[in-house]
Amino acid sequence: MKEKPPVVWESGIEIDAVYGPKEVERSGGSDGIGRPGEYPYTRGIHPGMYRTRPWTMRQYSGFGTAAETHERFLYLIKHGQTGLNVAFDLPTQCGLDSDDPMAEGEVGRVGMAVDTLSDMEEAFADIDLNAITVSLTINGAAAPIMAMYFAMARKRGYDIATLRGTAQNDILKEFIGRGTWIFPVEDSIRLVGDTIEFCAHEVPKYSAVSVCGYHIRESGANAAQEMAYGLAIAKAYIDHTLARGLDIDDFARGLSFNFDIFGNLWEQVAKFRAGRRLWAKILREQYGAKNPKSMQLRMIAGGGGKGLTVQQPLNNIVRGAYYALASALSGTQTMALCSYDEAYTIPSEEAARISLRTMQILMDEIGLCDTVDPLAGSYFVESTTNAMEEKIVEIMDDLDAQGGIVQGVSSGIVQAEVNRQAYLQEQRVQAGEIPKIGVNRFVEEEEEREVEFHPYSEQEAVKQIARLDAVRARRDGPQVETLLAEVRAAASEKRNVMPAILDAVEAYATVGEVCGVLKEVYGTYREPVRF
Amino acid sequence: MTSTGPNPIRVLIAKPGLDGHDVGAKLVCRALMDAGMEVLYTGLRQSPEDIARVARDEDVDVVGLSILSGAHLPLTRKVKQALHAEQVDDALLIVGGNVPKGDCERLQEAGADLALPTGTTMDEVVEAVRREVKR
């Protein structure tokens, strides 16, 4: 009989044909999994999980001007979405105003254009910020955008001391993948530290950072690397913030996570259970955290774009459902799915609604909320959770031995490693070694199909620039200048810049102006290109 | 930069505009290098003028733009103009990224010699460059 090839996961973990008690013991046993809601949280961070706290559904959305985005927000809320995940256009993400020459052709294209507080006010008008939690997908320009969100909430009468929500604000992963960096690495980390410190004191319920393994895996990392790099990045922010004299329990609960799902279902489950347990151990054992909230890995885990295909796009609906299933089986707090048309355009209303319905079907129809962590105790799941934890630790140790994540990102070796993996994967997909239905198996000659593309009109940019001009004309110019000078002073004296930025944006300073004065002090990042 | 054999094809892979998705651009760089070409990569967020200047200074045979933000038409137009201003009229301008098939013709009108739509494999990219560079 011909020997079948071994089954090996993307992360390099070899899978046995059958698992039993012996395999669990050999992998490290299952005594350490604990109960749900108890250290080390292998089984989830809440005792009742979805019985008491169903996951939040939060599709990524935003395009055009604030007015258009506001309409899509209302549409999603009307259809049962319970949180908002805001997409900003590239000029906003890169800290440029809509009338900057580099912004031409990009205003409002891949997300909502935000220049001033006035755009933020319009986008969230009449939306109850206590009932709908908002996640801001902003990184390089996180400081002014977070400040605008807080300023908007304050103007509407909310007490920011009780305001909830999340900013992505994970700059280290932007250097690895996604690319919306602005300032050099060290200054960028200091800026993240400023937001963490500011939130710890002024906006304590707010998650100042959502550390993203997601984009690192989208850029080529495997599942174990995704978790390892993500945890390493979170540790870098912790180390920086501790050096400011804060106590770990003052701010660690404000760090949340964003992870990717595609590929092997069981590998994702093991990744999440292992990552959650490892994070708890790191916080308690390495950082001496005492507050359980500091040790709990809270996450948004959603269907990743990399799993989707432009070929036979309706298959992406099916893929999305399985990714959502993996997420629910892994104890996520928040879920978002890339929509079926997202391989080639900004999701249509219909595609966004199908993603939302997918999550609702999982929640209401098929029993995923019946009991907590239904996979616990499975010989296979517990063994692979142990194996995955070992793998993640190995990668983190390796990274430390090479000088750590910050140095690795600065020199570009982390990017080169992720890129190398991406190339290997792509070669394996093209050779058919990694099966992809519609791409290297069951390929169909596809008719040139009619697809609905998200319309983009230069008119939106013209409107946005006119809006910006109007705000500039109406605001108190000299006061804005004074407040921007204060931002510049805070940055050059290495004081926390957030209070000054909040004052400046409250007076309608623009994203580009705030980032502009920070660039004067910090300079801009220069990308190390290495293969 | 790698080179094999005499007189290899020289390619500049560039990321114009603000789009930060560089996985595809870097994959193409590697595939072209593996195929024996000399490859330069600009890094992210290059202005059309920067790209044209590098193309001129490095005397490349091909300028490959990778654009995933949807802004491929205006950016291609601007890079073409910038190349012309630098008198780089003999280099082939190839555009790839998140490019719908339906836009390929419009990209050629905008100044691209060749547009490679979403779903183009790395082998097809290499083959297209070899075919189009006449030397």
Mean pLDDT of the residues in chain B:
92
**What is the model's pTM?**
0.94
Burial B89-100 (b: 16+ CB within 10 A, else e): eebbbbbbbbbb
pLDDT in tens, A438-491: 999 999 987 666 556 666 778 889 999 999 999 999 999 999 999 999 999 999
- Inform me whether the C-beta atom of residue B17 falls under 8 Å from chain A C-beta atoms: yes
| Domains of chain A, each with CATH number or no CATH | 7-51+160-430 (3.20.20.240)
- Average pLDDT, integer, range A427-434: 92
Q: Are A305 and A320 in contact (CB under 8 A)?
A: no
The amino acid that residue A506 corresponds to is E
Please judge whether B71 and A109 are an interchain contact, meaning their C-beta atoms are less than 8 angstroms apart: yes
Chain B contacts in chain A segment 396-425 (CB below 8 A): 419, 422-423
pLDDT at position A234 over 60: yes
For an interface test with A, give the residue of B11, B18, B33, B40 to mutate (most A CBs within 10 A): B18
Please judge whether A531 and B102 are an interchain contact, meaning their C-beta atoms are less than 8 angstroms apart: no
Give kind and range of the element (H or E) at residue A212.
Answer: strand A209-212
Band (A373; pLDDT cuts 50, 70, 90)? very high
pLDDT at A2: 64
* Closest residue in chain B to residue A101, using alpha carbons only: B47
Q: Which residues neighbour B15 within 8 Å (Cβ) at sequence distance 6 or greater?
A: B22, B25, B42, B43, B44, B45, B46, B65, B66, B67
Please judge whether B18 and A531 are an interchain contact, meaning their C-beta atoms are less than 8 angstroms apart: no
Please judge whether A310 and B70 are an interchain contact, meaning their C-beta atoms are less than 8 angstroms apart: no
The count of CB pairs under 8 A between chains A and B is 89
Band (B2; pLDDT cuts 50, 70, 90)? very low
Band (B35; pLDDT cuts 50, 70, 90)? very high
Please judge whether B45 and A102 are an interchain contact, meaning their C-beta atoms are less than 8 angstroms apart: yes
Q: How many residues make up chain B in this entry?
A: 135
Provide the CATH topology of domain B10-68+86-101+111-132. Answer: Rossmann fold (3.40.50)
pLDDT in tens, A72-105: 999 999 998 888 999 999 999 999 999 999 998 8
Mean pLDDT of the residues in chain A:
95
What sign does the dihedral A399-A405-A407-A409 (CA atoms) show?
A: positive
Cis peptide before A47 (omega within 30 of 0): no
Sheet holding B38-41, edge to edge: B38-41, B10-14, B62-67, B92-97, B114-116
A3 exposed, middle or buried (CB, 10 Å; 0-12, 13-18, 19+)? exposed
Band (A398; pLDDT cuts 50, 70, 90)? very high
pLDDT at position B1 over 50: no
The CA distances from residue A465 to A3, A113, A116, in Å, are: 66, 10, 11
Distance in Å from the first CA to the final CA of chain B: 21
- Inform me whether the C-beta atom of residue B26 falls under 8 Å from chain A C-beta atoms: yes
Facing residue for B70 by CB, picked from A220, A427, A456? A456
Nearest to A98 by CA among A501, A467, A478: A467
Helix axes A413-430, A404-411, angle to 10 degrees: 70
User: Collapsing DSSP states into helix, strand and coil, what is residue B97?
Assistant: strand
Please judge whether B71 and A106 are an interchain contact, meaning their C-beta atoms are less than 8 angstroms apart: yes
pLDDT at A451: 59
Chain B contacts in chain A segment 329-358 (CB below 8 A): 343-346
CB atoms within 10 A of CB A125: 14
Please judge whether B33 and A423 are an interchain contact, meaning their C-beta atoms are less than 8 angstroms apart: no
Q: Which chain B residues are closer than 8 Å to A174 by Cβ? A: 20
Pairwise pLDDT comparison (A149 vs A455), residue with the higher score = A149
Band (A342; pLDDT cuts 50, 70, 90)? confident
Closest approach of A105 to chain B, Cα-based (Å): 6
Closest approach of A90 to chain B, Cα-based (Å): 6
Distance in Å from the first CA to the final CA of chain A: 43
Nearest to B15 by CA among B62, B58, B65: B65
Band (A1; pLDDT cuts 50, 70, 90)? low
Helix axes A379-401, A265-281, angle to 10 degrees: 60
